Amino acid sequence: DLGHTGVRYRRLYLSEGVFLGGTDTAHKLDDYEEGSFNVTFTGSSSGSFTFTGGGQYTKIGRICTLAVSIQNVTFGSYAGNLQFGLPFTSASGNVYFGGDSYYYPQANWDNVTNFIGFTPKTPESSSIGTFQLKTLEGNRQAVLTNSNTNTSGQGGLYTRFSLTYATN
């Protein structure tokens, strides 16, 4: 036991971390970080565009949570799958999906008649995230590309999403 019920500690400084719920390395909490990052979107074949300060992250141990909010921007031209940069590489053997996001282009989507948004995804062992199209029927299988959207070069786009994933 540490302390007394009537006495509270204001600060605790530990130089090597703290073990929560066990004594093995899997229970060691030795990393906490938070900050902002520039959200860079790229096409898997070509093209990129960066939104300064569009993302915030909190990393506790191996778990990283992102919050991205980009408003009223113009997407540059890209080819291939629409991807976004992660602040930390994702862990191997794990694939994570974030909360559904709604994406508001100025114009209609080219080849998706029942589009309502997308779901961000982190492939395993990657520093790049991707998006899965979301339709009214709940389909999240199609990867968001420049061939099934007309977002390339579009302006007035809004997107917000969060994503939690394990890092290495």
CA distances from 28 to 16, 45, 53, 87 (A): 9, 40, 31, 22
15-37 per-position pLDDT tens digit: 788 888 888 887 888 888 999 98
Is the predicted pLDDT of residue 71 greater than 80, yes or no? no
Mean pLDDT, residues 143-147 taken together = 62
Residues 96 and 93: their CA atoms lie apart, in Å, by 10
Regarding pTM above 0.85, the answer is no
Is the predicted pLDDT of residue 110 greater than 50, yes or no? no
Please answer whether residues 162 and 66 qualify as being in contact, where contact means their C-beta atoms are separated by less than 8 angstroms: yes
Query: How many angstroms separate the first and last alpha carbons of the chain?
Result: 33
- Percent of the chain, pLDDT > 70? 66
